[in-house]
Amino acid sequence: MAKKQKPFRPKARRPRGFEDRPADAIRSETALIAKAFAVYESFGFEPLQTPAFEYADALGKFLPDEDRPNVGVFALQDDDEQWLSLRYDLTAPLARFVAEHYDALPKPFRRYQAGSVFRNEKPGPGRFREFTQCDADTVGAGGAVADAEMIMVAAEIARAAGLSDGQYAVRVNNRKLLDGILEASGVPNTQAGSVQRLQVLRAIDKLDRLGEDGVEALLGKGREDESGDYTDGAKLDPAGIKAVLGFTTASDPDRQATVATLSGLVGPSDRGRQGVDELAEIDRLLSATGFGPDRVSFDTSVVRGLGYYTGPVFELELLADITDRKGRPVRIGSIGGGGRYDDLVSRFRGQPVPATGFSFGVSRFVSALERMGAVEAAVQPPVLVTVFDRGLLPHYFALASELRAAGIRAEVFTGSGNVTKQLKYADRRGVKLAVLVGSDEHEAGEVTIKDLPLGADMAKAIETNEEWKSARPAQRTVPRDQAAAVIAEMLED
């Protein structure tokens, strides 16, 4: 006799690098996005939603490493054999949208968006394959004016999130300055030199983590890390390495002093001079609108890792003292950033289309705020209306509706089980108040309200059943028409 096969049951597991988001995290992230959206709206930006999938060629050469499907992105072939990719960020889809609707859009086109982005990279601690970004961009505005405004937006979002001045800073640089110094160091501003330039940018971007010696090695022949992995270097000569490292330390707390220093460093380079002039214009606009050096500084070590930036770049950094659970200091660093990317839309149209933007990772920002104690208190669990008698269900739902009308979260128990099981359910939900209405209370026009946490604490001090009956701790019976007011009062306690 054949052995009966067991039915196939899939294993409940989630893919590596993807998270399940619990209620508190969702609420915190939603609240932060709402605050950011309010800032974007106040500056006159409009919302836009682009799809999660794009044609792979629309994402183009701005993938993290190589422009072929499924390297850095999740990709699949459609039924017409064209490659589709999950969006890597929100900027490349914006470029496609603008190019597709260019003639119908007002210029500049100003939009904001939040949504999931996907990266086919090795997951690790704090490194996920899906996360939420929140962006604002201005497309069609050249010059430093739009960049200065985007820097203001970043600083205002920090305030809107609950950070005090001094707990954050926006650090600003300009890619054109580095381009000028690299030209003087023999690195051509051409396609042939683009790989070498990207290696230089990535080396500088590691200055905080590796220090000057580590960056110097990456600017030269290369560097072997503690695990034995070797990273090939940018192969600059000693004079070029010295010039780049000197550039990264040219900053001064006084923005105008930094501009003066940079003016001397870039020498005769036309591109370098453009970068100096743009920083000077940004300083004038920031100073005129009250964004002092305590909120926005010029920092030549900021380069941003992505290769598509073409001018001013900036990062929003946390400065507050943060510790882990063991009291050890934790450096959060950059929680967002952006800059000018004038070549992204032009890929589609073959003509220059200036653009600038700002983006932050929502989960990373919320995690930092939580460590600082700057996240608002969690939403209070609902009041639970228990079900003593299913014949009274219309009464229970009417009571819950009245509580909601009074601004109180309320839930009627819709599962099965007696009141004891319902109260166990309430305990698992963290419910503070439960409402009990049996036939006797209903006929008397009353409700009984239990403060469950207080009742549990008081019960520990009661030793006999007689004491329990006489004390009736943390429980009130009130007229039905006073239920909402009494519940609101008890929730405040």
- pLDDT by residue (tens digit) across 366-421? 988 888 877 877 788 999 999 999 999 999 999 999 999 999 999 999 999 999 99
The DSSP output letter for 166 is T
What pLDDT does residue 115 have?
Answer: 97
pLDDT at 458: 54
pLDDT at site 98? 96
- Mean pLDDT lowest among 79-88, 248-257, 472-481: 472-481
pLDDT mean over 217-230: 84
Average pLDDT for residues 433-456, to the nearest whole number?
91
Least confident of 127-136, 236-245, 309-318, 450-459: 450-459
Q: Which long-range contacts (CB under 8 A, 24 or more apart) does 469-472 make?
A: none
Confidence band of 221 (pLDDT split at 50, 70, 90):
confident
User: In the predicted model, is pLDDT for residue 468 greater than 60?
Assistant: no
The answer for residues whose C-beta is within 8 angstroms of residue 93's C-beta and 6 or more apart is 50, 51, 54, 58, 87
Identify which has the larger pLDDT, 145 or 232.
Answer: 145
47 or 225, higher pLDDT: 47
Q: Classify domain 23-371 at the CATH class level.
A: alpha beta
The model's pTM is: 0.84
pLDDT in tens, 6-27: 888 899 999 999 999 999 999 9
Paired with 76 in beta bridges are 84
Residue 451 has pLDDT above 70, yes or no: yes
pLDDT for the residue numbered 65: 43
Report pLDDT for 71. Answer: 62
Q: Show Cβ contacts of residue 262 under 8 Å, excluding neighbours closer than 6 positions.
A: 177, 250, 272, 275, 276, 279, 300
pLDDT in tens, 162-186: 999 999 999 999 989 888 877 776 6
Q: List pLDDT tens digits, range 122-175.
A: 887 778 899 999 999 999 999 899 999 999 999 999 999 999 999 999 999 998
Burial (0-12, 13-18, 19+ Cβ within 10 Å), 348: middle
> What's the confidence (pLDDT) of residue 193?
62
Domain locations in the chain as residue ranges = 23-371, 383-492
The highest-confidence range among 38-47, 76-85, 350-359, 472-481, by mean pLDDT, is: 38-47
Q: What is the reported pLDDT for 62? A: 44
- Give me the residues paired with residue 134 across strands: 114, 360
| Mean pLDDT of the 288-314 span | 87
CATH number of 383-492, picked from 3.30.230.10, 1.10.760.10, 3.40.50.800, 3.90.320.10: 3.40.50.800
Work out the mean pLDDT of the chain and round it to a whole number. 87
Element (H, E) at 114: strand 109-118
* DSSP annotation of 29: H
Least confident of 29-33, 346-350, 472-476: 472-476
Residue 1 has pLDDT above 90, yes or no: no
Task: Determine what percent of the chain is predicted with pLDDT higher than 70.
Answer: 89
Of 303, 99, 63, nearest in space to 182 by CA: 303
**CA distance linking residue 255 with residue 288, whole number of Å:** 13
Contacts of 256 (CB under 8 A, 6+ apart): 280, 283
Taken in order 455, 459, 464, 465, the sign of the CA dihedral is positive
Give the pLDDT confidence of 191-218 residue by residue, as tens digits. 656 677 778 877 877 887 788 888 888 8
Mean pLDDT along residues 272-282: 95
